[in-house]
Amino acid sequence: MKKVRGGYDIRLAGRPSRTIQQIVPPQRLLLPRRTRRFLFGQACVEEGARVKAGDVLARDGKNFDLPLVAPMGGTVSWTAQADHAVLGELEPPACEEQATPVHAPSGGETAAKRRQLVDLGAWAFVEDAYSGKLPDPQGTPAAVIVSTLRLEPYQARGDVQMMESLLGFIRGLEHLQSLLEYQPIYLLFPNVRSEFAQQVRQQLRGHAWIKLVEVPLLYPHDNMLLCARRLGFRRDQIVWTLGPDAVLAVDAALTHGRSVSSRVISLGGPGVKVPVHLRVTFGHPLEELTAGRLEESECRVINGGALNGYDATAAGQLGVDIECQGLTIVPENVERELLGWTRPGLDRRSYSNSYLSALRGSFDERMTTAMRGERRPCISCSFCEEVCPTGVMPHLIHKLLYADRLEDVERSRVDLCMDCGLCAFVCPSKIELREDMHEARRRIETELHAAEEH
C-alpha cells in the first residue's frame, strides 16, 4: 500500500449536524433526466400515463439500459418541464413493509442478481474508480472498494447514511461478496476512534473477507481513484466503488427486491440557516427544499460539495437527481470585494496561516461566491504542490501551459491529477489550477496526440 501524501483539513462553516430530518413529501416530483453520469433519454411511458412506485419511466441506452424509476405513484408528464420527468397527482407513499417486493434472486444466481441490481436502479450508485463511469454489471472487477466516509465539505456524511441501517449496510456488503468470485472488498474507514466506528467494527467481526483500510480525515483521501491507486490497482483494471448509500441500495434490491426512492442528502453551506441532513424523495423540487431555510434571498444552489459541485440552477436542474449527495448553499456576492486581499482577514483562513485569523485559533470560515481580491501571478509558494495527494506540481503545469510547452506538461504527469480541486482551493493567488489541469489534459489529447497521429 502506497504512502499517504498531501490532503488538507478544510474548515468551512455550515457543516450539517448528524441528525436526519424527515420532510413532508412534495405535491409533485421533478426528476432530472440528465445527471452527472446519465441521460435517461428513452421514455418508457406515454405523456399522461399513470404509474406506480417502482415503474420504469425512462432508460439510459448508453448505460446498460439503466432505468429511471418512479419513486412514487403518479401521473407522468414529459412536457411540463424541459429535461425532467414530472410526476403529479402523487399517491401517498406506501410503507416499505407494504410495498410489494419483486422476487429477489437467491443462491448462486450471480448473473440474475447483477441484472436485478440494474433493473431496480441500484446499479446507478456504482462507479468505476478510474473512469468514474458505470461499470459493466456482468463484468469482472479486480476489487470492490466501499467507502464509509465523505470528506468534501457539504456532502452527506457517510456515517450519517450508515447510521440509519447498519444491519442493512452489513447485509449489502454480504450481497456484494456473493456477486464476486475471489476478488477482495476493501472498506475505507476513518483512522480515528469513535463510538460509531467501534460499533461498525463490532458488526464486521466474522467478516474476514472485508479488508479494512484506514484513511486520514483529510480531503481528498476518501477519493476512490486515489484509494484504488494506493491499493496498487492499475488504470486498465476495473474497480467497483460504492458509498454507504450504494451498499444500502444493493441491500434493498437483493434482500427486499425493491428500488430505492429516496436518499439522505445534506443541505449545508453558509447560506443555510440550520445545516441539516434530510431524507428526500428523488425529484423533490429544489425550490421547496430550500424554501424558508436560506439566510439570504440571493444564494447559489450547488449540487454536490464545495469543491466539486456544480451550479444546479445554471444547469437547469429543478429537482433532486438520483446522484445528488448534497446541496451546498452559498450566498451570492454580486459585487467583488474590492482589494479584498489588502484586508487583514480576521474572518478567513488560509493554508499558509498568514491572515490575522491565525491569532483566532480554530474556527470555520464562511464561504461566499466572492473572489475576495484580484487574481495574481503565481508567487511560487508551493502550497498547491504540498496539498496535492498525487504528487503533481500544479504550479509547474500552470507555467508550462502558459508558455505553450505541451510536451513538458505531459512529462510533468498531469495525467495523475484526479480532479479534487484542492490545489485551486489553497492557492493564495486564486489561480484556477483545476481548470488548468483540465485544459492541459484536453490539449495534450487534441493537439499533441492528434498531431502525432497525422
- The SS3 of residue 16 is coil
* Least spacing, CB of residue 436 vs ligand SF4, in Å: 9
Question: Residue 319 is which amino acid?
Answer: G
What part of residues 408-437 is at the interface with ligand SF4 (CB under 6 A)? Answer: 417-423, 427-429, 431, 433-434, 437
Give the x/- contact pattern for ligand SF4 in 12-51, rule: CB under 6 A: ----------------------------------------
CA atoms within 13 A on the CB side of 105: 17
What is the C-alpha to C-alpha distance for residues 154 and 326, in angstroms, rounded to an integer? 6
Q: 53: closest CA among 113, 110, 111, 94?
A: 94
Q: How far apart are CA 282 and CA 260, in angstroms?
A: 9
Q: Residue from 394, 400, 440, 443 that binds ligand SF4 (CB under 6 A)?
A: 394
Q: Which is nearer to ligand SF4, 27 or 380 (CB)?
A: 380
In Å, the largest CA–CA distance within the chain is 67
Residue from 382, 400, 401, 438 touching ligand SF4 (CB under 6 A): that is 382
Name 198's Cβ contacts closer than 8 Å, sequence gap at least 6: none
Pairing, β 74-77 against β 84-88: antiparallel
Report the amino acid identity of residue 438. H
Do 259 and 253 form a contact (C-beta atoms < 8 A)? yes
In the numeric block, which cell numbers belong to residue 198? Answer: 467501534
Least distance CB 14 / ligand SF4 (angstroms): 23
Q: Which is nearer to ligand SF4, 70 or 418 (CB)?
A: 418
Q: Is 352 left (phi over 0), alpha (psi -120 to 50) or beta?
A: alpha
Q: How far is the CB of 434 from ligand SF4 (least distance, A)?
A: 5
Of 318 and 437, nearer to ligand SF4 (C-beta) is 437
Binding-site size for ligand SF4 (CB under 6 A) equals 28
Residue nearer to ligand SF4 on the CB measure, 59 or 395:
395
User: Which position among 388, 400, 401, 409 is part of the footprint of ligand SF4 (CB under 6 A)?
Assistant: 388
- Residue 154 binding ligand SF4, by CB under 6 A: no
Q: How far is the CB of 359 from ligand SF4 (least distance, A)?
A: 23
Nearer CB in complex with ligand SF4: 140/382:
382
Q: How far apart are CA 300 and CA 155, in angstroms?
A: 16
- Among positions 160, 378, 401, 409, the unique one binding ligand SF4 when judged by CB under 6 A: 378
What whole-number distance in Å separates Cα of residue 454 and Cα of residue 452?
A: 6
What does the binding site for ligand SF4 look like in residue numbers (CB under 6 A)? 378-384, 387-388, 390, 392, 394-395, 398, 417-423, 427-429, 431, 433-434, 437
